[in-house]
Amino acid sequence: MRFFDLYNYWIFILLMMIGFYTVIAKPNLIKKVIGLTLFQTAIFLFFISLGKVEEGTAPVIVPFTTIYSNPLPHALILTAIVVSVSTLAVALAIIVNIKQTYGTIEEDEIEEADGVDGE
Amino acid sequence: MTGDSILVAIALFTPLVGAGLIAFLGRWPNLREAVSLLTAVFLAGVVFYILPHVVSGDSPTFSLFEVLPGLQLTLSVEPLGLLYASVASGLWILTSIYSIGYMRAHREEHQTRFYTFFALTIGAAIGIAFAGNVFTLFIFYEMMTLVTYPLVTHHGTDEAVRAGRIYLGYLFITSVGFLLLAIIWTWFLTGTLDFQAGGILTGKASNTTLLVLLALYVFGIGKAALMPFHRWLPAAMVAPTPVSALLHAVAVVKAGVFSVMKIIVYIFGIDLLHTTGLTVWLMYAASFTILAASLIALTKDNLKARLAYSTISQLSYIILGAALANTWGVVGGSMHIVMHAFGKITLFFCAGAINVATHKTKVSEMGQIGKTMPVTMIAFLIGSLSVIGLPPFGGSWSKWYLITGAVSAGHTILVAVLMVSSLLNIAYLMPIVVRAFFVGPSANSPGETKIKEAPLFCLIPLCITAAGCLLLFFFANDLYQFLTAIVQS
Amino acid sequence: MELMENNLPALIVVLPLLAALLAPFLGQGNKSWILATLTTWAVLAMTIRLFIQIDGLANAQGVHETFISYAMGNWKVPWGIEYRVDPFNAFILIIIAMISAMVTYYARLSVSKEIPVDKIRFFYALWLLFITGLLGVTITGDVFNIYVLLEVSSLAAYALVAMGKYHSRKALSASINYLVLGTIGASFFLLGVGYLYSVTGTLNMADLTERLKGLHDNRTVITAFVFLLIGLSVKMAFFPLHGWLPSAHGYAPPIVSALLSGVTIKVGVYVMIRFLFTILGVKFIFEELPSAPIFLVFASLAILLGSYMAIQQFSLKRMLAYSSIAQIGYIVLGFALANESGLTGSLIHIFNHALMKSGLFLAAGIVIYQVGEADLAHLRGLGRKMPFTMAAFTAGGLGLIGIPLTSGFISKWYLVMGAIDRGLIILAVVILLGSLLAMIYVWRVVEVIYFKSAPDSSSEVKEAPWALVLPTWILIGASLYFGMDSSLPFHMANQAARFLLGMQ
């Protein structure tokens, strides 16, 4: 059944949605960022699995075979991982700042401290 | 550029340059006022110099820049435009003299700002008068709204600011919401926005589309104060009287009805409207405004408010003339632009003079004023008679042509409307005169002995305009000949 | 010179990137500002030169197949990354460069006051990275490269927004919110790219266009389109995915807001238009899929609700931020009409709004610089004390309303024409209604500036230094000039529109 052949895509979707849910539902900023990273990682896995060629090995030239998986997604995802890590770094820096300024990293407490918007 | 087009350019730039000079000379009031007067005289001179060219059938044109591809800012003079420009520039001279008297007697603040924006308004009026296409008309129309705003909110009080909001609100909502839509739609249908004899819309769209377009145009020109978009006019009365006089008796409101007339004659074309009967609804809308506004005027005790509603009513005379879509109607309506301008400005001048001399604004308080201000009240009488439409004053001729137009169009009920309106005019204007001369002093002013006649600078203009009302009676035929050129295509 | 000419596309991106790396080493004080200013002005010159080249090509051979292709590192297209310049992105590049140049020049005094001295060089490093990303997204011809550069500029933007914390601590929560939503948006975009890649095997835009031609029924392609749409809507702050914008633009330092509102969201629009018109094609998007009604409905809501929210605001910057949401609505409405007038109107509004909104934010920045806060309470009576700044603000406001003789009028004209051309008069009404709503929030500010008397505590407030007023007036003045003579932006926008629609 094609349904079960595509199990890898189901796993990616599951991971993605867990991450997405975490971002939306958890008020703790660190948890949000974890969720974000999970979300992005699932997308990366999806990309990489696109590149798998049947019976292909890792795209490094070796003597015993001539079938390799597609190297392009690997290169793309390496780049994307860099982007994701940088995002994580910036996010953490901002969260540290928030902790120093507000004394908390819970979103609802921050909103309360800020008061009504419209300044 | 021919010699003629230079004249047109000069006509436009004179008030604009004048405004700049006036703003610069703020610190020397006498010099500033002198520049204001001189600019007015110069402008009137230029406009009247162009007159013979137009009489002989020419159409001097001047193009500025191209705002959008295919849409130029163009000025092109034709009889109707010249008429409006003459009225505006000529009366500017008189209003300048009047303003000097009024503003100084009242010791008003921000006089430089006042004179500067006054000049800019006249500049916008010239732009509207000489617009060669609807696009140019629209640009100067909006400019006029903007530059009159500081005049309306002159006093800077909360009341003035609120009035300013109503003023801007009505004028912009109508111009952006309806007029701009109509203009772009016209551009879309015909590919041009030029004013042409016989109109540009014949055969371009279905009758329903044209009907909607006409409604958008007429209601989009909020300055014509067709009900229900008339509220800005009484709201703007919060401004100093010279503003009310020129702007709301002459420049702003006349810009509105002038635009309506121009669009009916040169965009739609009288023949098209006559054959399709598209303007019948407008005749009734205008009639409603004529009567309703007159009735409201009856209820107003504040003199300026009464005159404001009178203006709304009289403007619809002109719209009615345009809606009749025949020679008599168009000529009568156009003539009324002149007649009403002279009549109404006289009335406003008098109202302001009364305010300056006695600080009274309510009709009920104006008992026996005629005894101490005879010149003013006689001028008021003359102005009233002209507005009512009785000979030997100019207003009678325009009314006559409008009645003839109504009969010729087969809508005799409109004749009744005009008649009833005249009666209502008598009802709300004559009591003022009667009270001023005959009725005993009202209880509100016990023994005021220090009332005297208004300052000279105020008196002279109102005498001249009153005389104008009389003179126009005799020159009506010349006007008629001049204006028929509009309808000949 | 020859070398520079041939490598212009690469230089436009590489130069600010190198400058960004250099900036932190220039020590405290204004040396980093000098570097930033010189770089942005150099980039402006380069983008103008590039446009002239494209314009020349277009005049010679017709707009249809005009482009300049530059292979990065000489790797052959389509396997290497290609930088591709055509009439559309040449136009956008000039807008980015122009606004960046003006705002960077303005930045000296504003930054010195808002940011602590030891952090200034890092600010400019981030600033230059931000600009690099925007330029790169516009000029690249590879969809994954778009993702990378988009994130480069977004990350810099998140950090720059957080720099507003020295003025108001709310900038921090605004920034983290922007970060989370922006990253989700970018991830959706990446997913869309992934789907397209899985179906076609290529990441090069020109190649994708070719390969997608026969694949209109493919469910993967439609899914890819939806993901791209969502991701880019977040980046453009298109209703209803606009939630991050009001706070981010409202609490960031004024010069950051100027670039964010004036340019960044426009780059999002650029990518959207690129995908819709070039890669996926008008026929597919608008005729086979029901995209047009969706775009038009949400655009109308953006216009009306954005303007309505702007009316509710007391803070000047937040008001301008909500106004930007409405303006994006106009831009989307224009291109969703998919006809020449509508698309021209949309593109010309990108240009005009960039000028006006940046100018307005700079004016707000001047108020903050002189008075401390830019809300209605602090604006009282400033018309007298800061006449030039307030005149600039009023002129910009009139442009937002769309008064004739301002550039905003030109955009509205073409948008309404586009709507009438499609027979959708209701949209014309929405556009004009937006103008009227804009009148309310602009006039509220005008009344406070000119009619309210200043509080006594502000007696020492006077007009700002020329270094701040001049760039503001250059931007606003340009928007007024192009309102009177729109031939240049019209030419650029119309050429781009005709190119995108596949006309000659």
CA end-to-end span of chain C, whole Å? 32
Closest CA to B243 of B375, B113, B343: B113
**Environment class of B453 (CB within 10 Å of its CB; exposed 0-12, middle 13-18, buried 19+):** middle
Q: Does residue A103 form part of some domain?
A: yes
**Environment class of B281 (CB within 10 Å of its CB; exposed 0-12, middle 13-18, buried 19+):** middle
pLDDT value at B443 more than 70: no
Write the single-letter amino acid at C378.
H
Q: Are C200 and C208 in contact (CB under 8 A)?
A: yes
pLDDT value, residue B11: 85
Q: Which of A73, A94, A119 sits opposite C162 (nearest CB)?
A: A94
pLDDT value, residue B450: 53
- The backbone torsions φ and ψ at residue B441, rounded to the nearest 5 degrees and listed phi first, read -60, 135
pLDDT value, residue C136: 94
The alpha carbon dihedral of C263, C265, C271, C277 has a sign of negative
Which helix (H) or strand (E) segment holds residue C69: the answer is: strand C68-71
- What letter does residue A118 receive in the DSSP assignment? -
Per the prediction, chain B carries an average pLDDT of: 84
Q: Are B254 and B341 in contact (CB under 8 A)?
A: yes
Q: Between C120-139 and C31-61, two packed helices, what is the crossing angle to 10 degrees?
A: 10
Chain B residues touching residue C417 (CB < 8 angstroms):
184, 187-188
Interface test with A, best of C150, C187, C202, C249 (most A CBs within 10 A): C187
Q: Do A119 and C318 touch (CB under 8 A)?
A: yes
* Long-range contacts of the stretch B82-85 (C-beta < 8 A, 24+): B82/B47, B82/B50, B82/B51, B82/B54, B82/B129, B83/B334, B83/B337, B83/B338, B83/B482, B83/B483, B84/B125, B84/B128, B84/B129, B84/B254, B84/B255, B84/B258, B84/B337, B85/B11, B85/B47, B85/B125, B85/B126, B85/B129, B85/B130
Write the single-letter amino acid at C460.
E
The CA distances from residue A57 to A8, A43, A48, A69, C223, in Å, are 18, 22, 13, 6, 30
Q: Give the Cα separation of C135 and B11 in Å (integer).
A: 49
pLDDT value, residue B5: 78
Q: Do C404 and B143 touch (CB under 8 A)?
A: yes
pLDDT value, residue A1: 56
Q: Does residue A119 form part of some domain?
A: no
List % helix, strand, coil for chain B (3-state, nearest 5).
75, 5, 20
The total of structural domains in chain A comes to 1
Interface test with B, best of C394, C407, C409 (most B CBs within 10 A): C409
Q: Do C184 and A114 touch (CB under 8 A)?
A: no
Among left, alpha and beta (phi > 0; psi -120 to 50; other), residue B193 is alpha
Q: Which of C412, C416, C490 sits opposite B69 (nearest CB)?
A: C490
CATH number at residue A8: 1.10.287.3510
Q: Do C403 and B168 touch (CB under 8 A)?
A: no
Average pLDDT on B406-424 reads 87
Q: Give the Cα separation of A110 and A115 in Å (integer).
A: 9
Write the single-letter amino acid at B139.
I
Q: Give the Cα separation of B347 and B237 in Å (integer).
A: 14
Q: Give the Cα separation of B196 and B83 in Å (integer).
A: 18
Residue bearing tokens 């003789």? C405
The CA distances from residue A44 to A75, C231, C464, in Å, are 11, 16, 51
pLDDT value, residue B438: 78
- Domain regions of chain C by residue span: 290-504
- The backbone torsions φ and ψ at residue B108, rounded to the nearest 5 degrees and listed phi first, read -70, 150
Q: Give the Cα separation of B63 and B66 in Å (integer).
A: 9
pLDDT value at B486 more than 80: no
Q: Does residue A100 form part of some domain?
A: yes
pLDDT value at B209 more than 90: no
Which residues, 6+ apart, have CB-to-CB distance to B293 below 8 Å? Answer: B227, B230, B309, B310, B312, B313, B316
Q: Is C189 on the interface with A (CB under 8 A)?
A: no
The alpha-carbon radius of gyration of chain B (Å, integer) is 21
Q: Give the Cα separation of C288 and C278 in Å (integer).
A: 16
Q: Give the Cα separation of B217 and B274 in Å (integer).
A: 18
Q: Is A25 on the interface with C (CB under 8 A)?
A: no
In chain A, which stretches have pLDDT less than 50? 118-119
In chain C, which stretches have pLDDT less than 70? 1, 455-460, 504
Closest CA to B379 of B470, B305, B448, B456: B470
- What letter does residue C373 receive in the DSSP assignment? -
ipTM: 0.92
Q: Does residue A67 form part of some domain?
A: yes
Confidence label for B193 from pLDDT (cuts 50, 70 and 90): confident
Average pLDDT on B171-187 reads 90
What are B379-394's pLDDT values in tens digits? 888 888 888 888 888 8
Q: Give the Cα separation of C246 and C329 in Å (integer).
A: 15
pLDDT value at B408 more than 50: yes
Neighbours of chain C (3+ CB pairs under 8 A): A, B
Which residues, 6+ apart, have CB-to-CB distance to C103 below 8 Å? Answer: C255, C258, C259, C262, C358, C362, C471
What are B11-61's pLDDT values in tens digits? 888 888 888 888 888 778 888 888 888 888 888 888 888 888 777 777 778
Nearest chain A Cα to C190, which residue?
A: A43
Which helix (H) or strand (E) segment holds residue B72: the answer is: strand B71-76
Write the single-letter amino acid at B187.
W
Q: Give the structural domain span for A76.
A: 2-114
- CB half-sphere exposure, C74, CA atoms < 13 A: 1
Q: Are B318 and B332 in contact (CB under 8 A)?
A: no
Q: Which of C432, C451, C487 sits opposite B180 (nearest CB)?
A: C432
What are B91-128's pLDDT values in tens digits? 888 888 888 888 877 777 778 888 888 889 989 999 99
In three-state form (DSSP H/G/I as H, E/B as E, the rest C), the secondary structure along B112-156 is: HHHHHHHHHHHHHHHHHHCECEHHHHHHHHHHHHHHHHHHHCCCC
